[in-house]
């Protein structure tokens, strides 16, 4: 699974790396985040009207048919094996795919004779961003929950996303049996294109990353609390 990640690249550097056509103005200046947790608003790459855009979604997918947004807490990951058929994800898999750019992610291993779990930081050996395969949705079924909002009586539009996971490769299996799907550069356009509807072709992309594309090291247990932030969280022990 993937339950916590790092997002430190600037929006402008992501625009260059992913060959984007536009970046939404409100995220042009984005502070580094070393401990991103579910339900956070995160940056995503998606394609709309033939333009590749950096925008934001809340992490935890809320299907369009959901009665309320609370279901998103349970939808932070989608399994590659069932993403094309599970009702919560199949519509987004067919039409609304995205890339979630990260600078690394965390996984935990339970220590022997201890209740503490040891976190590990997993990243690219080149320090370049990783392109997680994701899905996005827009949910229009609710009212604003902010009592001070002028839109209290109007439907709100909530854009959410999920990270697709697959079986871990040999290297990551030492930490966990699942890992995020990390897309290769040559597959980005194919994945993002709303015109691509061939389920079999898309599922061929949902495979474990090559062992040589990732490395990891142990980091401070400060990571265990999502309240903690700072570069010290990705300093090797």
Distances (CA, A) of 54 to 14, 30, 46, 232: 8, 12, 7, 27
- Asked about 2 being catalytic, the answer comes back as yes
Indicate the burial class of 68 (C-beta count within 10 angstroms; 0-12, 13-18, 19 or more).
exposed
Give CA angle at 72 (66, 75), nearest 5°: 110
Collect all residues with Cβ–Cβ distance below 8 Å to 182 and sequence separation of at least 6.
Answer: 130, 131, 132, 133, 209, 213, 214
- Asked about 57 being catalytic, the answer comes back as no
Which one of 57, 107, 137, 161 is the catalytic residue? 107
Three-state secondary structure string covering 30-51 = CCCEEEECCCCEEEEEEEECCE
Q: Residue 98's beta-bridge partner residues? A: 134
Which one of 2, 57, 98, 161 is the catalytic residue? 2
Distances (CA, A) of 73 to 60, 96, 142, 229: 5, 19, 16, 21
Q: What is the CA radius of gyration of the chain?
A: 18
Length of the chain: 237
Active site residues: 2, 107
């Amino acid at each position: 699974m993937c339950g916590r990640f790092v997002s430190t690249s600037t929006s402008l550097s992501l625009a260059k790396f992913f060959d984007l056509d536009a970046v939404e103005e409100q995220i042009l200046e984005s502070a580094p985040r070393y401990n991103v947790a579910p339900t956070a608003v995160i940056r995503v790459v998606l394609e709309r009207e033939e333009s590749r855009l950096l925008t934001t979604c809340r992490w935890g997918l809320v299907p369009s048919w959901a009665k309320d947004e609370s279901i998103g807490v349970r939808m932070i990951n989608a399994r590659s094996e069932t993403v094309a058929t599970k009702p919560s994800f199949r519509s987004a898999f067919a039409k609304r795919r995205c890339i979630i750019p990260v600078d690394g992610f965390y996984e935990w291993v339970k220590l022997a004779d201890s209740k503490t779990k040891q976190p590990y930081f997993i990243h690219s050996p080149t320090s370049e961003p990783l392109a997680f395969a994701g899905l996005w949705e827009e949910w229009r079924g609710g009212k604003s929950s902010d009592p001070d909002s002028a839109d209290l009586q109007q439907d709100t539009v909530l854009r959410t996303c999920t990270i697709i996971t697959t079986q871990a490769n040999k290297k990551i299996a030492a930490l966990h049996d699942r890992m995020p799907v990390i897309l290769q550069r040559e597959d980005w356009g194919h994945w993002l294109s709303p015109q691509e509807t061939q389920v079999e072709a898309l599922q061929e992309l949902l495979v474990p990353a090559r062992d040589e594309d990732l490395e990891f090291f142990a980091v401070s247990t400060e990571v265990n609390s999502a309240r903690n932030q700072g570069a010290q969280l990705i300093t090797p022990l």
